[in-house]
Amino acid sequence: MRRIAAGLAVATALAVAAPAQASERHPTLPELEDELMCLVCNTTIAESNSPFADRERALIRQYIAEGDTKSQIKAKFVAQFGPQILAAPPDSGFNILAWWLPIVGIVAAGLALGALAWWWSRGRRGPPVAAAGPPLDPELERRLDRELRDFDA
């Protein structure tokens, strides 16, 4: 059973890695349109109709025709327009905070809510109930038990 699971995991990894590597070597325009920004309208090139976005599309087509990889095309755009041309910040250096800070915030908020719920559920019990008054007269207690029994029946 373990061998089958390991085989499936390896097959899945290979199935995912091959298209990703092919995408790196032979990028397409729609793929890069979603990863680069139009600096005029602050949307991705795919969403923009501005002349600047048309110029970027033409540059992408030119770089693809020259045989550049996806990383090379993005590097050329960053060199020409700066890192703000990328739709997502690079996942290295100080920019790694843009990737991890939201995740850390969500986890911290979940832990805080969990701790608050635990504390709230523990603090709402109230003081322990003490016996109210002196014990009942034995005759009165028998009568009360009999009436309760009759009430349940």
Could you report the per-residue pLDDT of 89-118, keeping only the tens digit for each? 766 677 677 778 889 999 999 999 999 998
Across the chain, which has 153 residues, the per-10-residue mean pLDDT values are 59 48 70 89 89 90 91 90 82 74 93 91 66 81 90 77
Radius of gyration of the CA atoms of the chain, in A: 34
- Evaluate whether residue 9 is within a structural domain: no
- Evaluate whether residue 102 is within a structural domain: no
What CATH number is attached to the domain comprising 30? 1.10.8.640
Backbone torsions φ then ψ of 48, nearest 5 degrees: -100, 145
- Evaluate whether residue 42 is within a structural domain: yes
Q: Which contacts (CB < 8 Å, 24+ apart) does range 8-15 have?
A: none
Specify the pTM: 0.49
Q: What residues make up the domain containing 38?
A: 26-95
Q: Domain count for the chain, please give it.
A: 1
